[in-house]
A and B are shown apart, each in its own frame.
Chain A
Amino acid sequence: MTPSEKKELRVTACKVRMGIIESTHAAKCGHPGGSLSAADMFTYLYFKELNIDPQNPKMDSRDRFVLSKGHTAPGLYSALAHRGFFPVEDLLTLRKIGSYLQGHPNMNTVPGVDMSTGSLGQGISTAAGMALAAKHQGNPCRVYTLLGDGEIQEGQVWEALMLSSHYKLDNLCVIIDNNGLQIDGAVEKVMSPYPIGDKLASFGFYVEHIDGHNFDQIEAALEHAKTIKGQPFAIIMKTTKGRGISYMENQAGWHGKAPNDAEYEQAMNELKAKLAEVEAE
């Protein structure tokens, strides 16, 4: 990626984060913490990686993305809106009666959403089913799925990993957002999933660890994933929950809470300052 492409991604990531803050503030609820930790990955996927067409969201050959950690819908919606799948101003209808932007992703109402998710542990199975079907059909598309590090406490995740490896789904890329926090606190205190990488490797995955806020590392890992044949690929990305908003960073309390008016002002000011800083570079 060229320096200008990287700068463009950083600018977009700021806007995606603004959409997360604006939508959850408007909704007075929702999940900003995990949306912000995955915001850079959402940005890279939707603005650089995925073969998609906002004008033709159901294109048969499109790459699929399944948000297995469905509660971070504000992050996905913001990326989709900024990518042109629907108007950015609609983000303000999040979670409201009559809105197509449901609290958790609904594939039948939101353009660009490939699978309805929300119940943790199920998205990865549907992604595996898509990857298996794509191979069966000879569809060259790739399938990406994003999970939380708390989510992998669900037993079904490991059933899906086993199946993905068994059927050699090298068109599947499993991304784990390792922000280290879940609702009740630190993941290793609630129910340790560690060592995540060793576990996935022992399930037959090719595993790569990256900094989930570093676009060079994100790019390198996703490019690498396409070269690995005969086994599925996993990216474990170290991230900061609430990334980009000073008072939200590394605070489990911001898992599922919306900013009030004062907090909203501060968050938007921080993001605007960041945006100006990146644009001035």
Chain B
Amino acid sequence: MADVKKIATRESYGNALVELGKEHDNLIVFDADLAGATKTGTFKKAFPERHYNCGIAEGNMMAVAAGAASMGLVPFASSFAMFAAGRAFEQVRNSIGYPHLNVKIGATHGGISVGEDGASHQCCEDFALMRSIPGMVVMSPADDVEAKAMVKAAYEHEGPVYMRFGRAAVPVFHEEDYQFQIGKGEIVKDGSDVAIIANGLMVYEAIAAAEELAKSGINAMVINMATIKPLDEELVLEAAGKCGKIITCEEHSIIGGLGEAVAAVLSEKLPTPVKRIGVNDEFGHSGPAAALLKQFGLCAEHIVEVAQKFCGK
């Protein structure tokens, strides 16, 4: 897997908006002074008359987007995950979620791979916050191809959607003809000893881990669970039934994210041992993204370690 092309999914988001914008006049974009960083600046350049900056006021932006959605427009509201899901949580909950308005939240800079900016900007709580809102779709793509397909699917979906994109460039491993569907997980690699269910940049790490595990005789299944809500329960149960052991991997707190969602399904429907890999109830800190990911165990090496121990090897 050497020399793969790397693209940050926030870039994919900006590019996908431009492509969708060409087809759909009712798509508009709201920003909160981060158009350059969220890459919606790409859309602004292509369609200046359909881009509205709301200034540094994320709560207001979310409710403004709700009002615009009620008029029949399809607004994409963008900021960093920390402010889109965190600061504006109550506006998202009450003005978008409760009325079930057709607003798409494009949150970039999710997780600790934000890097040098440090803990104040490293949002590891957004899945937990957003999946607690009834009717909210919550997704996080693994690479450029999936991110672009996800943005298109979000536009076509009627109702509120939260998408988390990353700051750091990540390997592109999907083929261009990859078919994405909201609420459907993807078996990236089949296996029978342990199932690794991951999303975001952890999917590629899980693939690398599975290759390494094969050397020690562990046949790991790898699932890309890009949609955290609604969760593909069927696939989770299938993986648990087949492998009997589940490892979840996410660039998010182990509290409230993919790991807990998977564990909840299994504990009720098919009790199965689960190991959760994520940020262990602590804040991040400044540093280069790659170094931070290693330090926090969000890497293939750590997955291998956990899986080997889990499988008794």
Q: Which residues of A contact B (CB under 8 A)?
A: 60, 66, 106-108, 114-116, 118-119, 122-123, 125-134, 136-137, 139, 156, 159-160, 162-163, 166-167
Contact = CB atoms under 8 A, between A and B. Distances in A.
Nearest to A161: B60
B91 A125 contact: yes
Contacts of A137: 71-73
B63 interface: yes
B38 interface: no
A66 B64 CA distance: 12
Interface in B85-109: 90-91, 94-95, 98-100
A116 B67 contact: no
Contacts of B90: 119
15 contacts: A107-B99, A108-B100, A114-B70, A115-B95, A115-B99, A116-B98, A123-B63, A126-B64, A126-B67, A129-B71, A130-B68, A133-B68, A163-B55, A163-B57, A163-B64
Contacts of B55: 159, 162-163, 166
Interface of B: 28, 50, 52, 54-55, 57, 59-60, 62-73, 75, 90-91, 94-95, 98-100
B57 A116 contact: no
B71 A125 contact: no
B79 to A, nearest CB: 13
B66 A126 contact: yes
Nearest to A127: B67
Nearest to A118: B94
B71 A130 contact: yes
Given A132-B52, A163-B55, A125 B67 contact: yes
Nearest to B94: A119
A133 B66 CA distance: 10
Contact of A132 (B68, B72, B99): B68
A107 B102 CA distance: 14
A160 to B, nearest CB: 5
Contacts of B62: 125
Contacts of A139: 71
B57 A126 contact: no
A116 B93 CA distance: 11
Contacts of B63: 122-123, 125-126, 129, 156, 160
Contact of A160 (B28, B60, B68, B71): B60
Interface centre among B54, B64, B72, B99 (most CB of A within 10 A): B64
